[in-house]
């Protein structure tokens, strides 16, 4: 029985699992929307929302906590300056997970995780 057992293991060791989650969150902050498996999206959602909460508080301690996850000063700056100020009126629920069908190779359920209201999405320039 898995009573009171929190989190998914993904068949990985703990350091590999945390590195994977940190890389997924980096990609989410960089691109604003990513495509991954449903289990990974659900698992990374809590850590991503915690980082946005750090950004809303906007002090040195919370910048250091965010840097601990992101390991990139540019991403921390983007989180604190561009993404988090858009959620000052919101108390939670900064991301959404949308189911996107199954993957062709192994039939794994896929999902799209993105920031609510399209915050942080990079605009793609089209050549005309």
pLDDT in tens, 30-75: 999 999 999 999 999 999 999 999 999 999 999 999 999 999 999 9
The alpha carbon of residue 84 and the mean position of all alpha carbons in its chain are separated, in whole angstroms, by 13
The predicted structure's pLDDT at residue 124: 54
69-93: pLDDT as tens digits: 999 999 999 999 999 999 999 999 9
Q: Are 28 and 48 in contact (CB under 8 A)?
A: yes
Instruction: For the chain, list the domains and their CATH numbers.
Output: 14-118 (3.90.1030.10)
pLDDT, tens digit, for every residue of 100-115? 999 999 999 999 999 9
pLDDT attached to residue 120 = 66
3-state class (DSSP) for residue 6 = coil
Q: Decide: 70 and 51 in contact? Cβ < 8 Å.
A: yes
Q: Distance of alpha carbon 128 from its chain centroid, rounded?
A: 33
The answer to whether residues 86 and 64 touch, using CB atoms and an 8 Å cutoff, is no
> Could you tell me what percent of the chain has a pLDDT over 70?
92
């Amino acid at each position: 029985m898995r009573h009171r057992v929190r989190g998914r293991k993904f068949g990985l060791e703990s350091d590999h699992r945390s590195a994977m989650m940190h890389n997924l969150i980096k990609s989410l902050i960089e691109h604003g929307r990513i495509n991954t498996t449903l289990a990974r999206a659900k698992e990374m959602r809590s850590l991503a929302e915690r980082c946005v909460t750090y950004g809303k508080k906007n002090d040195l301690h919370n910048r250091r906590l965010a840097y601990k996850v992101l390991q990139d000063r540019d991403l921390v700056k983007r989180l604190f300056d561009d993404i988090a100020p858009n959620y000052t009126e919101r108390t939670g629920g900064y991301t959404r997970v949308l189911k996107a069908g199954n993957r062709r190779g192994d039939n794994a359920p896929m999902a799209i995780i993105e920031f609510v209201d399209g915050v942080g999405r990079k605009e793609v320039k089209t050549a005309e």
